[in-house]
Structure 1
């Protein structure tokens, strides 16, 4: 019974990490829908990488 107290927080952390990873854009259409653009390997200064458009293109957003 004592192990349930240890497994429950671990399970919550696992579920939280899995839920947060799905918010990033996964393709070009999702990136453009969220007012971003696809940049080759990097983003220019005011933009940061927020997902992937394809293998070498990343979604850049402010």
Structure 2
């Protein structure tokens, strides 16, 4: 019964992280459709990484 308290937060953490990972853009077309652009390994200052365009390119959005 004591382990149930430890398993429940772990299960919620796994479900939470799995749900968010499928929403990020995974290619150049999806990135541009969501008003983003592809940057090489990093994004310029006001932009944040929101997904991947390819192996070395990341999707940058405000």
1:52 corresponds in structure 2 to: 52
Separation of aligned partners in 2, 1:41 and 1:13 = 28
**Structure 2 spans left out of the alignment, 5+ residues:** none
Cα deviation, residue 38, structure 1? 0.7
Residue by residue over 1:4-61, the C-alpha shift from the partner in whole angstroms, topping out at 9 and shown as x without a partner, is: 2321221111111111122211111110010000111222222121111001111011
- Which blocks of at least 5 consecutive residues in structure 1 are unaligned? none
- Give the TM-score normalised by structure 2: 0.82
Segments ≥4 residues shifted beyond 3 Å: none
CA RMSD of aligned residues (A): 1.4
